[in-house]
């Protein structure tokens, strides 16, 4: 049994007669190091999808967006990225504290290319990289297990129309999301957002915009 494939994968490979092809691809495209080309691709992206798993093995998938350079390649085995202010649930970062296994999916919709990166994530207290991303609350570092490109045939070709105005930037105040002005959360906002409770918004209009 391949270290990369398990019994479930093999069962389907045998059913559809793809095991030789799967083994060849595993031998040729899967890497345990981040190449300079991969580094360039990763650091050119302004978003990615993050999959995490809780202590019971239940998955959670999250979209992470920011500016170009959202993910920083530290060395050939490590990447890092920020966790910004969100809804306060900390589902992804919380999962990392109880189960380090993560998967990152990078997609360049304009060039129609994608890259998968799987590894183990950890949170370092007072991480010096916090200063690298304005308003970052947490930095997640991921130690690479394996990475590989994916067939791009089903990637829709799209272009960026506008970067979100909520992406934190240096020397620029980040606006608060409208949902934090809803009455339903007014009495449970953290201290840093308590001032928003006095500017209540219409729930229907707010939810439709966010």
What are the tens digits of pLDDT across the range 93-152?
A: 999 999 999 999 999 999 999 999 999 999 999 999 999 999 999 999 999 999 999 999
Q: Quick one: angle between helices 7-15 and 19-28, nearest 10? A: 130
Mean pLDDT of 3-11: 94
The domain limits of the chain are 1-30, 31-149, 178-209
Q: What is the DSSP letter of 193?
A: G
Asked whether residue 207 carries a pLDDT value surpassing 60, the answer given is: no
Question: From the centroid of its chain, how far is CA 209?
Answer: 22
Asked whether residue 208 carries a pLDDT value surpassing 90, the answer given is: no
Contact predicate 70/48, CB 8 Å: yes
With residue 123 as reference, give the H or E element that holds it: strand 113-123
* Tens digits of residue pLDDT in 30-52: 999 999 999 999 999 999 999 99
Q: For all residues of the chain together, what is the average pLDDT?
A: 93
DSSP secondary structure string for all residues of 14-46: HHTT-HHHHHHHHHHT-BSS--HHHHHHHHT-S
Write down the pTM of the prediction. Answer: 0.90
Q: Which pLDDT belongs to residue 209?
A: 52
Q: Which pLDDT belongs to residue 1?
A: 45
Q: Which of 141, 124, 54, 65 is nearest to 90 (CA)?
A: 54
Q: Which pLDDT belongs to residue 195?
A: 87
Q: Which pLDDT belongs to residue 114?
A: 97
Asked whether residue 20 carries a pLDDT value surpassing 60, the answer given is: yes
Question: Kind of pairing, strands 47-53 and 59-65?
Answer: antiparallel
* Tens digits of residue pLDDT in 168-196: 999 888 999 999 999 999 999 999 988 88
128 SS3 class: helix
User: Does domain 31-149 correspond to CATH entry 2.30.110.10?
Assistant: yes
Percent of the chain with pLDDT over 70: 93
């Amino acid at each position: 049994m391949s270290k990369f494939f398990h019994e479930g994968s093999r069962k389907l490979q045998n059913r559809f007669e793809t095991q030789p092809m799967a083994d060849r691809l595993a031998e040729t495209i899967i890497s345990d190091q981040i190449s300079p080309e991969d580094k360039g691709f990763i650091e050119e992206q302004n978003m990615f999808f993050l999959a995490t798993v809780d202590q019971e093995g239940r998955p959670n998938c999250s979209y992470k967006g920011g500016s170009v350079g959202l993910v920083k390649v530290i060395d050939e085995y490590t990447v890092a990225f920020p966790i910004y202010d969100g809804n306060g649930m900390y589902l992804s970062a919380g999962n990392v504290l109880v189960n380090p296994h993560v998967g990152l999916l990078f997609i360049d919709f304009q060039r129609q290319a994608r890259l998968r990166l799987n590894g183990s994530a950890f949170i370092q207290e007072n991480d010096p990289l916090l200063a690298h991303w304005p308003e970052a609350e947490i930095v997640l570092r991921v130690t690479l297990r394996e990475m590989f490109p994916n067939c791009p045939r089903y990637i829709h070709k799209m272009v960026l129309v506008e970067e979100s105005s909520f992406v934190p930037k240096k020397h620029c105040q980040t606006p608060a999301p409208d949902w934090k002005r809803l009455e339903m959360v007014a009495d449970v906002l953290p201290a840093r957002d308590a001032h928003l409770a006095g500017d209540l918004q219409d729930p229907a209009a707010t939810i439709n915009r966010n």
